[in-house]
Amino acid sequence: MTAAALALSARDRIEACLARIADPAGEGSRAFTRVYADTARAAAEAADARARLGRSLGPLDGRIVSVKDLFDMPGEVTTAGSTLLRDAAPATAMAPAIARLAAAGAVLVGKTNMTEFAFSGVGINPHYGTPGNPADRSRIPGGSSSGGAVSVADGMAEIAIGSDTGGSTRIPAALCGITGWKPSQYRVPTAGAFPLSYALDSIGPMARSVTDCALADAVMAGETPQAPVAAPLAGLRLGIPRGPLLDGLDPVVAAAYDAALKLLGGTGVRLTDEPLALLSEAAEVNARGGLTAAESFFIHRAWIDSRADAFDPLVRTRIDRGRAISAADYIHMQHRRRDLIAAMDLRLGDLDALVLPTTPIPAPKIADLAASEPAFTAANIALLRNTSAGNFFDLCGISLPLPVAGGLPVGLMLLARNGQDARLLRIAAAVEGLISGK
C-alpha cells in the first residue's frame, strides 16, 4: 500500500473496503462468500487503539485481509467453493496460518470465492458466481483463488490469502494485475485448509506489492515479518527456461516478457538460456494422471460415487481421472517426483532464479470457457503450464505484474530453489522496483 493510504486509520480503510464489497455495481457479491463486517470493524478499532498507545502488534496490525473459502474459521462451515459441504459440521478452530494473521492484528474482512475444491486455474464457479476480471469484467479472474485476487485488485482488501497447488495464487495475480506468492511448501502450515493435493498444496498471499506478500508470508510461517531489502540487480543470475514453458506465447504476453528481459539485461543482470530436460521427465510422470488427480479422488471418492450431480462437471471430470490411477502408479509418481526434485535443486544451483511468463496467455472470456468444455480444458492447461512446474519441483515462486499499455494484465514469474524464499523475495523487490520505475 502507499504511505498515504496507510496513513488513514484502520477503521477508515475497512469502511472503504466494506463499501466496495457492498457496491451493487461491483464484484463484491461474486468475490466474497461471507463478509465479517461487524468483527472487522471491531478489529480495526482495536488496531487503531493500539496505534494511539504505541503498542502495535507489528507491520500487519490493522491491515485488511481476505481469506479464501477453504480455510477453517471457528463456527463456520468451510464450503471450499462447493455446495456439497453446505451441511457439513462447522469448524471448531481457525486454520493455524489464519490464526497467526489474526494474532498479528490483521483485520479479516471476509471469505473469498474460489474454483470448486480449488481444482482449476480458471476461476469459474457455477455455484457462487464468477467474479469478473478487474481489467475486463467479461474475462476470467484466474483460479483457483479467484475472489481473493479480485478483492485486492478492486480495493476490497489489502492482502488476500489463497492456496497454490498448481498456481492458484500466481495465476489469478497475473491475470488481475497484482502480485502473488507461493512459498516453499514446508514453511506455512496447511492444517485447517481443505486439501486438494497433500503433496502439492501451498499457502500464499496476494497483494499489490512484494512487501505486503512478504509480510503476510512471514507471519503465516511463524517468522518475524520485515520488509525485504531489494537485492542488487547487477550480477544476478537469472535463467530463461528455453523449451516448453516458453512455447506458444500469446503475442501480448511475449511482447511484455521480451520487454522485461530487455529491461533486466540493461541493469547488469546475467540472463542465460537454460534448457531444462527435467521438465520433460516431469511431464512423463504426470502422464500417469498426476498426483492431484490421485489425491483429490481419494478425498472426494464417496461424493463422486453418491452425489456426482452436485459437482461442477468440469471439476468432477478432473477429479474422476484419479479413479484409474493404481496404488503402484501413485507410489511410482511419488518416488520419481522425489528424485526429480533433487535433480532440479542441483540443476538450479548456479542460478538465483528462473524468469518466465506466469501464464502463456492473458485472461480469456468467461462466456467462451463456460460454453465449451474443450475451450475450458485448453485454457486451463495453458494457464497451469508454467506455474505448476514450481509446485511439482517444490520451488518457491512469485508473479509480478508487467506493464501492458491499454491491454490485459500479464505476469512475470520468478522461480527459485526450495528454501530460498527470503532471497527470492529480495530479488522480487528489486525487479518490482525496476519494472515500476521506483
CATH number at residue 291: 3.90.1300.10
Say how far apart CA 239 and CA 242 lie, in whole Å: 9
Q: Is residue 398 part of a domain?
A: yes
Considering only CA atoms, which of 278, 36, 28, 285 is closest in space to residue 131? 28
Do 182 and 259 share a domain, yes or no? no
Q: What pLDDT score does 251 carry?
A: 95
Helix (H) and strand (E) counts in the chain = 16, 11
Is 182 one of the catalytic residues? no
82, 146, 151, 168: the catalytic one is 168
Is 262 one of the catalytic residues? no
68, 82, 151, 388: the catalytic one is 68
Do 92 and 182 share a domain, yes or no? yes
82, 120, 144, 151: the catalytic one is 144
Q: Which of 161, 195, 220 is at the close of a domain? A: 220
Considering only CA atoms, which of 192, 69, 165 is closest in space to residue 125? 69
Is 68 one of the catalytic residues? yes
Q: Is residue 232 part of a domain?
A: no
Task: Give, for all 438 residues of the chain, the pLDDT tens digit.
Answer: 666 667 899 999 999 999 999 999 999 999 999 999 999 999 999 999 999 999 999 999 999 999 999 999 999 999 999 999 999 999 999 999 999 999 999 999 999 999 999 999 999 999 999 999 999 999 999 999 999 999 999 999 999 999 999 999 999 999 999 999 999 999 999 999 999 999 999 999 999 999 999 999 999 999 999 999 999 999 999 999 999 999 999 999 999 999 999 999 999 999 999 999 999 999 999 998 899 999 999 999 999 999 999 999 999 999 999 999 999 999 999 999 999 999 999 999 999 999 999 999 999 999 999 889 999 999 999 999 999 999 999 999 999 999 887 789 999 999 999 999 999 999 999 999 999 987
0.95 cut: is pTM over it?
A: yes
Q: What pLDDT score does 1 carry?
A: 61
Do 203 and 352 share a domain, yes or no? no
Per-state percent for the chain, helix, strand, coil, to nearest 5: 45, 15, 40
Q: Note the helical H segments in 200-307.
A: 210-220, 251-265, 278-286, 291-306
| Residue range(s) defining the domain that contains residue 130 | 3-220
Q: What pLDDT score does 299 carry?
A: 97
Task: Return left, alpha or beta for 268; rule: phi > 0 is left, psi -120 to 50 is alpha, else beta.
Answer: left
* Per-residue pLDDT tens over the stretch 323-382: 999 999 999 999 999 999 999 999 999 999 999 999 999 999 999 998 899 999 999 999
Do 428 and 330 share a domain, yes or no? yes
Q: What pLDDT score does 54 carry?
A: 97
C-alpha cell at 215: 509480510
Do 175 and 269 share a domain, yes or no? no
Q: Is residue 229 part of a domain?
A: no
Enumerate residues 6+ apart whose C-beta is below 8 A from 354: 238, 239, 240, 241, 274, 348, 413, 414, 415, 416
Q: Which of 187, 220, 253 is at the close of a domain? A: 220
Q: Which of 176, 192, 220 is at the close of a domain? A: 220
**What total of structural domains would you count in the chain?**
2
Q: Is residue 376 part of a domain?
A: yes
DSSP string, 349-414: TT-SEEEEES-SS-PPBHHHHHT-HHHHHHHHHHHHHHHHHHHHTT-EEEEEEEP-TTS--EEEEE
Q: Note the helical H segments in 146-190.
A: 146-153, 170-176
Identify whether the C-beta of residue 24 lies closer than 8 Å to the C-beta of residue 17.
no
- Tell me the CB-side half-sphere exposure of residue 40, using CA atoms within 13 A: 26
Do 181 and 296 share a domain, yes or no? no
Enumerate residues 6+ apart whose C-beta is below 8 A from 278: 340, 343, 344, 347, 393
Q: Is residue 361 part of a domain?
A: yes
Do 201 and 251 share a domain, yes or no? no
Q: What pLDDT score does 407 carry?
A: 86
Burial class (CB in 10 A: 0-12, 13-18, 19+), 129: middle
